[in-house]
């Protein structure tokens, strides 16, 4: 099923939180799954904005990419890209950032061993709770190493998103090419066995297209 005329905003990749001009906090996200989702949606005709943290990947054909580094920049870029029919948060957003990021390189003598952190905005939760202009379908990802389904179901409710894609990252999923996932909706769940990330992306694109076709979002 096609997605022509639908605008979809996707976040992907890690965020990078500077400590000083030469050091940062980040994570192992490759961006593979988010980029594959953006590509699958664009292949079905959607107008896709991919808000991406730093990755080694080229933007998929037909996708408008907005490059960001930090979680705060990612939230601002998503808000600028709205309104949209669908928002999909695939990025591995750093939960914290250094409280201060100096303009000059820090030395051991100045900082000692303590790094003060502050919490980053939760992009998914913020977009799901928008009082006006909330995308009709808000989808999150839950990367879990244990109790995957229970934790993902709870996360869907906690984040206020409509759907969540649970994936088990206890193996090589994070940064790897393959993934196994479960799509958790309020009205049911679909198990997607381990496959390459393009296949998982296509299954998600199909589910979104079905949902929009069944109950058209205007």
Residues 52-81 that bind ligand CTP (CB under 6 A): 71
Choices 25-33, 60-68, 115-123, 197-205 (CB under 6 A): range interacting with ligand CTP: 115-123
- Contact between 140 and ligand CTP per CB under 6 A: yes
- CB 133, min distance to ligand CTP, A: 17
Of the candidates 123, 122, 115, the residue with the CA atom closest to the CA atom of residue 23: 115
- Contact between 13 and ligand CTP per CB under 6 A: no
Contacts of 60 (CB under 8 A, 6+ apart): 35, 38, 39, 42, 50
CB nearer to ligand CTP: give 96 or 115: 96
Task: Figure out which of the listed residues 33, 55, 120, 167 binds ligand CTP, where binding follows CB under 6 A.
Answer: 120
Q: From CA 69, how far away is CA 9, in angstroms rounded? A: 17
CB nearer to ligand CTP: give 91 or 212: 91
Beta bridge partners of 97: 118
Catalytic-residue membership of 191: no
Q: From CA 210, how far away is CA 183, in angstroms rounded? A: 14
Q: From CA 218, how far away is CA 205, in angstroms rounded? A: 19
- Contact between 124 and ligand CTP per CB under 6 A: yes
């Amino acid at each position: 099923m096609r997605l022509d005329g639908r605008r979809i905003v996707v976040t992907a990749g890690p965020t990078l939180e500077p400590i000083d001009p030469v050091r940062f906090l980040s994570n192992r996200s490759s961006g593979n799954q988010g980029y594959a989702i953006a590509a699958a949606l664009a292949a079905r005709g959607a107008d896709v904005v991919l808000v991406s943290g730093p990755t080694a990947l080229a933007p998929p054909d037909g996708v408008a990419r907005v490059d960001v580094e930090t979680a705060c920049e990612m939230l601002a870029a998503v808000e600028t890209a709205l309104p949209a029919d669908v928002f999909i948060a695939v990025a591995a957003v750093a939960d914290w950032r250094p409280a201060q990021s100096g303009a000059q390189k820090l030395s051991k003598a100045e900082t000692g061993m303590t790094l003060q952190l502050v919490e980053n905005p939760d992009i998914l939760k913020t977009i799901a709770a928008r009082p006006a202009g909330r995308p009709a379908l808000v989808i999150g990802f839950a990367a879990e190493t244990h109790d995957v389904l229970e934790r993902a179901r709870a996360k869907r409710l906690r984040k206020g998103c409509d759907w969540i894609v649970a994936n088990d990252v206890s193996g090589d999923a994070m940064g790897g090419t393959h993934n196994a996932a479960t799509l958790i909706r309020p009205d049911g769940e679909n198990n997607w066995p381990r496959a390459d990330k393009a296949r998982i992306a296509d299954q998600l694109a199909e589910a979104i297209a079905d949902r929009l076709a069944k109950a058209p979002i205007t």
